[in-house]
Amino acid sequence: MGGFAAYLKSWVTGIVSLLTGLKVSIVNFFRPKVTESYPENRKTLVMPEHFKGVLTMPHNENNEHKCTACGICQMNCPNGTIKITSQTIETEDGKKKKILDTYLYNLGQCTFCNLCVLTCPSNAIVFSKDYETAIFTRSKLIMKLNNEGSRLEEKKKSASGEA
């Protein structure tokens, strides 16, 4: 009789365990679906507001950017992802001025900490929402952010004529 009681107990325990599992499955079956069907959903996919894809340097319609080559982003980047080269030119009024030569960004090294964007005094760089950045050639992860032939955006003159 003791053997039968033990058998019965294990049988009941098994059924309870099965029902517990089934309850989880049934509850989830009726829950709204949250799974994204990627890549089929490419056209409707909206990345979250704070998503960081690739560091970019916006240029206006005149091929002008806002980077003054101050180097603050490069100094604040914790792992040397940004390499800036600049040159000093003489302006029409004889003043020396530093201008951006090359702004290199290594996507393969970036930790997306956003320190560069947050500390840039000119709001010259932003993160894009690009998410398909996987490639086979590592060297292509090093990107030049300033366009060929681009230059620093002219400051708009105020009504009083001040820059």
Contact between 99 and ligand SF4 by CB under 6 A: the answer reads no
For ligand SF4, the binding residue among 110, 150, 152, 153 (CB under 6 A) is 110
Q: How far is it, in rounded angstroms, from Cα 58 to Cα 90?
A: 25
Q: Give exposure, 67-76, as e/b (b: 16+ Cβ within 10 Å).
A: bbbbebbbee
**Kind of pairing between the strands at 151-152 and 64-65:** parallel
DSSP secondary structure letter of residue 63: S
Per-residue binder mask for ligand SF4 (CB under 6 A), 66-85, x = binder: -xxxxxxx--xx-x-xx-x-
Least distance CB 74 / ligand SF4 (angstroms): 6
Question: Which CB sits closer to ligand SF4, 17 or 109?
Answer: 109
Contact between 152 and ligand SF4 by CB under 6 A: the answer reads no
Q: How far is it, in rounded angstroms, from Cα 38 to Cα 157?
A: 48
Three-class SS state of 163: coil
Question: Which CB sits closer to ligand SF4, 44 or 62?
Answer: 62
Least distance CB 49 / ligand SF4 (angstroms): 16
Other CB atoms within a 10 A radius of the CB of residue 82 amount to 21
Of the listed pieces 36-44, 90-98, 118-126, 135-143, which binds ligand SF4 according to CB under 6 A? Answer: 118-126
For ligand SF4, the binding residue among 54, 55, 146, 150 (CB under 6 A) is 55
